[in-house]
Amino acid sequence: MDWIDRFAGLSQLEDSLRNTLVSKSQIVNMPKKTVLFGPGNSPENLLLLLEGVVRVQQVTEGGREIVLYRVHAGESCVLTTACLLAYENYAAEGIAETDVKAVAIPRIVFDDLVAGSKSFRNFVFSTYSRRITDLFHVIEEIAFQKVDIRLAHKLVELAGADHKLSATHAQLAAELGTAREVISRQLQEFQRRGWVTTARGAVTLTDRSALETLSEAG
C-alpha cells in the first residue's frame, strides 16, 4: 500500500496513473507554525495531507483573523484546489498547527491529470464540493447563529479529555470570526453561570454538559 490508498478517490486510478502520480510527486515534511501559503502567493503544488493539521485563515484589513477551516490527514486544501484551477493567487494563509507530512503534487502533474483522467477529476471536484459546503456552513454560522451558541460549541470541540483548552480570547475570536471583546464578555457570562473558569491563555470547562446543551440549541 502506498500513500495513494490513504485517499479513497485516488485508489480508483488506473495503475499507470498511480505510478505517474507517485513518481512525479514528493513527500514533504514541515514543522509546526510553518506558513505554507499566504495572500498574493501562487500555488505550485496541490498538497494532500498525510499527517498533521493545517489551519486556513483570513486576516481582515483591520488585522482580525478569521479561521475558515482546517485540513486534516486524508484531506486536501480547497483553496489551493480553487487557485490551481483558476490560476489565481491565494487570498488567505495556511499555517501548520502541528508538524505536517504531505504529498506535494506539482501544478503541471495536477493540470495533466485533471485534463486526462476522469477518476482524478472526480476526486478533485468531489473533495472540492464537500469543502465548499463546509465553508457555507461557516458563513451561515457567522451571519445567523448567536455567539454564545457558537462559543459553547467551539469550547466543547476544542477541550481535551481533561476539559481544558489552551487558547487566548483573541484565538477564540479568530475561530468564530468575531471580536476579542465579544468573546471576553461571553466567557465572563459563562463563568458567572459556573460553566467555565478562565486563566491567562486557558479555559477549563466546569460544566461541560451545560455547554453541550447550549451548543445544540442552534
pLDDT, tens digit, for every residue of 75-132?
A: 999 899 999 999 999 989 999 999 999 999 999 999 999 998 898 999 898 888 877 8
What are 68-83's pLDDT values in tens digits?
A: 888 999 899 989 999 9
pLDDT recorded at residue 1? 46
Here the cell at position 192 is: 458567572
CB atoms within 10 A of CB 32: 12
Q: Residue 169 has what pLDDT?
A: 92
pLDDT of residue 68: 85
67 vs 31: which has the higher pLDDT: 31
Cβ contacts of 205 within 8 Å, gap of 6 or more: 155, 156, 159, 163, 164, 195, 196, 211
Query: Which stretch of DSSP H or E encloses residue 155?
Result: helix 147-158
Predicted local confidence at residue 25, as pLDDT: 94
In this structure, what C-alpha cell is assigned to residue 14? 488506473
What tens digit of pLDDT does each residue of 188-216 get?
A: 999 999 999 999 899 999 999 999 998 88
Lowest mean per-residue pLDDT among 18-32, 37-51, 84-98, 122-136: 122-136
Please tell me the total number of residues recorded for the chain in this structure.
Answer: 218
Residue-level pLDDT at 127 = 83
The closest of 10, 212, 179 to 110, measured between CA atoms, is: 10
- This prediction has a pTM of 0.69
Binned at pLDDT 50, 70 and 90, residue 50 comes out as: very high
pLDDT at 198: 92
Q: What is the pLDDT of residues 154-180, one digit of tens each?
A: 999 999 889 999 999 988 988 887 888
Where does the pLDDT of residue 65 fall: very low under 50, low under 70, confident under 90, or very high at 90 and above?
confident
Backbone angles phi, psi at 204, to 5 degrees: -115, 130
Judged against a pLDDT cut of 70, whether residue 144 lies above it is answered with: no
